């Protein structure tokens, strides 16, 4: 059998713990036998990040700008315990945060739906994709615990010294205040990433805020989306037969519950934090979610939505059997391969991505799955397999 050829490399970002083990199995069993795989390899495993003073993370993000498409394995974000465990020189920052800052992107998360894993909301027939704005608002808020009576004011001082001043509240006793901000440029990037991704995936785009109450703050989000849509995307949306629609956040929540799915829901930072957990748990599990970072310039980084599955890794190290779900990591690869194929006009590569996804879903639908899914499936006669057994079963089907 001749292997599928690639013309441009993918940026490959290896990672940590159990997902690093799955990464290797996926390449050996599901990719290398079928594709003459071209990648530019960056080892984002914590040991190598530490050796390179995290330079490797920056280099991998720059490479993504050069080639356009990356695939990333889950990585450890160090905390105090990891400092000791890996004898780190510094508490290196989250690689996802570093890469997102360099690519200026938005993360889109969508459930991978399969027969036998039914959403809690029975009306949902298609995936709901959440796009979360990842800058500012309450996440960069400044807060004061007001000790007692007094006046709280909001003051902006321009570079020329002119001031804008608003009274927040005249306190007659203790309370709390909070100042938060966002930046037009960041909201513009968010909007462009959302419009680009909607066109890419041919799905309607919903956006919602509370602009009736927040007449300047949230209204700015609404206006920026609308201006960019009208100027740059309206004609393209029409040609693609998709719709952009804005509504109030409470109306959006009600509509989402009554919808059939199949659209992108763009959310402000806090809304996205909360709603993505609701959507992922209502659809099944984090191990059945795709996640892609899309930059407003059209660079793509595909990953799994879950972490490095540390608990399973420690069992693996002790030689115990694990049953870790590799679906999200497999879909990170298929997402990246399909996008690479699309950009390069490589039809064979795109078809391979489709086939690998189908083989993965068919394997589950036939009853062979990892333990996490076996616990929640509505299928009968389930064959719960270990990490390797699942990947091998997919490989059999793919052949």
Shortest spacing between CB 338 and Mg ion, in angstroms: 28
Residue whose tokens read 């899914």: 373
**Site for ligand NAP (CB under 6 A): how many residues?**
17
Among 75, 259, 360, 363, binds ligand NAP (CB under 6 A): 75
Q: What angle do CA 158, 159, 165 make, to 5 degrees?
A: 15
For residues 14 and 16, what is the distance between their CA atoms, to the nearest angstrom?
A: 7
Shortest spacing between CB 141 and ligand NAP, in angstroms: 23
When asked if residue 74 is in the footprint of ligand NAP (CB under 6 A), the reply is yes
Which residues 82-141 are close enough to bind Mg ion by CB under 5 A?
A: none
Which residues 267-296 are close enough to bind Mg ion by CB under 5 A?
A: 273, 277
Shortest spacing between CB 262 and ligand NAP, in angstroms: 25
Written as six digits, the tokens of 15 are: 């990672």
* Chosen from Mg ion, ligand NAP, none, partner binding at 303 (C-beta under 5 to 8 Å by type): ligand NAP
E strands in 116-252: 128-132, 142-146, 150-157, 163-171, 175-179, 204-209, 244-248
Written as six digits, the tokens of 89 are: 């020189």
Residue nearest ligand NAP (C-beta atom): 307
When asked if residue 309 is in the footprint of ligand NAP (CB under 6 A), the reply is yes
E strands in the chain: 10-14, 39-43, 69-72, 106-111, 128-132, 142-146, 150-157, 163-171, 175-179, 204-209, 244-248, 263-267, 289-294, 300-304, 368-369, 383-384
* Chosen from Mg ion, ligand NAP, none, partner binding at 277 (C-beta under 5 to 8 Å by type): Mg ion
Shortest spacing between CB 172 and ligand NAP, in angstroms: 45
For residues 294 and 290, what is the distance between their CA atoms, to the nearest angstrom?
A: 13
Among 50, 57, 64, 96, binds ligand NAP (CB under 6 A): 96
When asked if residue 269 is in the footprint of ligand NAP (CB under 6 A), the reply is no
Q: Which residues contact ligand NAP by CB under 6 A? A: 74-77, 96, 286-287, 303, 306-311, 324-325, 372
């Amino acid at each position: 059998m001749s292997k599928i050829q690639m013309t441009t490399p993918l940026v490959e970002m290896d990672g940590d713990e159990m997902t690093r083990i799955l990464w290797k199995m996926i390449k050996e069993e599901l990719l290398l036998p079928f594709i003459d795989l071209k990648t530019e390899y960056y080892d984002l495993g914590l040991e190598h990040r530490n050796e390179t003073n995290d330079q490797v993370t920056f280099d991998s993000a720059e490479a993504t700008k050069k080639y356009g498409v990356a695939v990333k394995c889950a990585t450890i974000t160090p905390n105090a315990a990891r400092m000791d465990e890996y004898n780190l020189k510094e508490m290196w920052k989250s690689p996802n945060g570093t890469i997102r800052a360099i690519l200026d992107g938005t993360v889109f998360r969508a459930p991978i739906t399969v027969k036998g894993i039914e959403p809690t909301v029975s009306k949902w027939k298609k995936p709901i994709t959440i796009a979360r704005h990842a800058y500012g608002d309450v996440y960069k808020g400044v807060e004061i615990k007001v000790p007692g009576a007094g006046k709280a004011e909001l003051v902006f001082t321009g570079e020329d010294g002119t001031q804008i001043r608003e009274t927040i509240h005249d306190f007659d006793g203790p309370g709390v205040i909070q100042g938060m901000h966002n930046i037009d440029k960041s909201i513009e990037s968010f909007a462009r990433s959302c419009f680009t991704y909607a066109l890419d995936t041919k799905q309607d785009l919903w956006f919602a805020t509370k602009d009736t109450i927040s007449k300047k703050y949230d209204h700015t989000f609404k206006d920026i989306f609308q201006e960019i849509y009208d100027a740059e995307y309206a004609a393209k949306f029409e040609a693609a037969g998709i719709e952009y629609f804005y509504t109030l956040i409470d109306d959006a929540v009600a509509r989402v519950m009554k919808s059939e799915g199949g659209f992108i829901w763009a959310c402000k930072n806090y809304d996205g934090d909360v709603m993505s957990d609701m959507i992922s748990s209502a659809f099944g599990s984090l191990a059945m979610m795709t996640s892609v970072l899309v930059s407003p310039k059209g660079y793509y980084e595909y990953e799994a939505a879950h972490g490095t599955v540390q608990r399973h890794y420690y069992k693996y190290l002790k030689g115990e059997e694990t049953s870790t779900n590799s679906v999200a990591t497999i879909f990170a690869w298929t997402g990246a391969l399909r996008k690479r194929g699309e950009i390069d006009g490589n039809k064979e590569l795109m078809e391979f991505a489709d086939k690998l996804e189908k083989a993965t879903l068919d394997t589950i639908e036939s009853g062979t799955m990892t333990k996490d899914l076996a616990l929640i499936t509505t299928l009968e006669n389930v064959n719960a397999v270990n990490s390797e057994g699942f990947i091998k079963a997919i490989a059999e089907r793919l052949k």
